[in-house]
Every structure is written in C-alpha cells, then in structure tokens.
Amino acid sequence: MKTRDSSVKNPLGSITPGALDSKRKFVLVVDDSKEMLDLISRHFSKEGLLHLAAHSVEDASKVWAARKNEISVLVTDLQMPELSGDELAAKFLSEKSSLRVILITGYENHPASHSNILVLPKPFRFPQLIEKVLEALN
C-alpha cells in the first residue's frame, strides 16, 4: 500500500514515494501566488512535465531536502515574502551546481546572478515558459 507523501504538495494530486524514479527529471515550481502556481502546474501537467509545486520557500526547502536528486530545474518567482527567488536559487545551487533555474520577474532587465539562471520577464506566455523548461531539461 502506497502512502501519501505530505512533503510534496501538488495542486493536481500527490506524488507517492514509489512513483518517483531517479532517472526522471523533475521541475520544482515555487510561487507564493496560489493562482500562478496552479496555472503553471496545469500547463506543465498538460505538457506532461514532471513537477513538484511549493507555495512557500519553507515548503520548497522541504521538497528540496527530500527530492534534490530528482530535481533538475527550479522555476521560481523573484519576489516572495520569506526569501527572494535569487536567494532561493543561490541556496539550492550551492548544494547542486547542475541545477538549472528559471527566475520569473516583473522587473525589467533583472540580471541573472549565476550562469545557471535564466530570467523570464512578466508578462510571459506559458509556451515560452515551457520552451525554457524543456531547454533546461535537455
């Protein structure tokens, strides 16, 4: 019997420990806006992208601690209450230098603070985000 993994919060369902395969590449999506998180999750699911969703930096850190070996891409908003997306990316990159990051921001010309970070300005179309994620996964 599979148990529900409470450390992974996904608006479209739960991921059970047995469902994760270390050969698969996951995207961790972090956004403090539940509406944006749900929209991104729906689009990723529609495209068949394996992803984990976190509504806060605290939740993202828990998911990261449990699943960092499976996570290949971090998609995060720049402005969040607890920690900026830049700071979250730096924290995760210090533990896994191969991580690719897509930083979503409403600020024009926000510089990428690391070579593994791609900045995606708002507003964006979801096909643009999906294209960037697919590039990062490959």
Q: What is the mean pLDDT of the chain?
A: 82
pLDDT tens per residue, range 76-135:
999 988 899 999 999 999 999 999 999 998 766 655 665 788 889 889 999 999 999 999
pLDDT tens per residue, range 14-58:
333 333 344 579 999 999 999 999 999 999 999 999 999 999 999
Per-residue pLDDT band for 68 (boundaries 50, 70, 90) equals very high
28-137, CATH topology level: Rossmann fold (3.40.50)
The domains of the chain are located at 28-137
> Could you tell me the two tokens for 2?
């599979």
DSSP 57-106: HHHHHHHHHHHTTTEEEEEEES--SSS-HHHHHHHHHHH-TT-EEEEEES
